[in-house]
Amino acid sequence: MSPQLLFQLHLVLGYVAWLLCFGAYVWPRLRAMDPFDAQRAIATLHSFRFFGLVFMLPGVVGADLPASFAVFAAYGDFATAVLAMLALLAVRLRPLFWSFVVAFNVVGTTDLILDYYHAVQADLPARAGELGAMYAIPVIYVPVLMIAHGAAFYLLLRRQMKVVPGY
């Protein structure tokens, strides 16, 4: 099996496994929680995205990892992590908390979509070995992050529909 096909298979199976796990264990719990607590849990997961800065760490990833992918992914993850942490720090100021929740979800989702775009442009699946030890990030960590963003947006919309009755 080619490295490109193996990477794509890992990515798809990462989504399948996380969707199964999320559907069985996480989603029922998030839906039953108070919207504030559910978003706090999602923000906690995303607060660890600072780890994406490792894409720029020489010796951890290959020297030939395209900068068009690595630098953008690293800073996008970092920005999302900082916004998620700010949401967690703002829990006592609810309007500010909700603003940071929207911000980290918009920035984080945009980052992941653009990371996929940059990965395709750089032919990352064919160069997956350049990810080195960080190979697990796109195939294990990114799927759960994207799924969590989807859940966060759903919960935000559901909350808005409850706040604005009659629509």
> In angstroms, rounded to a whole number, what is the distance separating the alpha carbons of residues 70 and 150?
24
SS3 string, 12-69, reads HHHHHHHHHHHHHHHHHHHHHCCHHHHHHHHHHHHHHHHHHHHHHCECCECCCCCHHH
Above 90 in pLDDT, residue 71? Answer: yes
| CB-based contact 108:73 (threshold 8 Å) | no
- In this structure, is residue 136 part of a structural domain? yes
- In this structure, is residue 29 part of a structural domain? yes
Domain count, the chain: 1
Domain carrying residue 43: 3-159
User: Within the chain, what is the greatest distance between any pair of CA atoms?
Assistant: 57
> In angstroms, rounded to a whole number, what is the distance separating the alpha carbons of residues 72 and 147?
21
- In this structure, is residue 35 part of a structural domain? yes
Q: What mean pLDDT is predicted for residues 152-161?
A: 86
Q: CB under 8 Å to 143, separation ≥6 — which residues?
A: 11, 14, 15, 17, 18, 19
- In this structure, is residue 165 part of a structural domain? no
Write the pLDDT tens digit of every residue in 117-149.
999 999 999 998 899 989 999 999 999 999 999
Residue 73's pLDDT band, with cuts at 50, 70 and 90, is: very high
- Between the CA atoms of 7, 12, 15 and 21, what dihedral angle is there, to the nearest 10 degrees? -100
Residue 52's pLDDT band, with cuts at 50, 70 and 90, is: very high
- Provide the pLDDT for residue 166: 57
- In this structure, is residue 106 part of a structural domain? yes
Structure tokens given for 64: 């030939």
Above 80 in pLDDT, residue 161? Answer: no
- In this structure, is residue 166 part of a structural domain? no
pTM for the structure as a whole: 0.92
The whole-angstrom distance between residue 156's C-alpha and the CA centroid of its chain comes to 17
Q: Name the DSSP class of 135.
A: G
Q: CB under 8 Å to 58, separation ≥6 — which residues?
A: none
- In this structure, is residue 87 part of a structural domain? yes
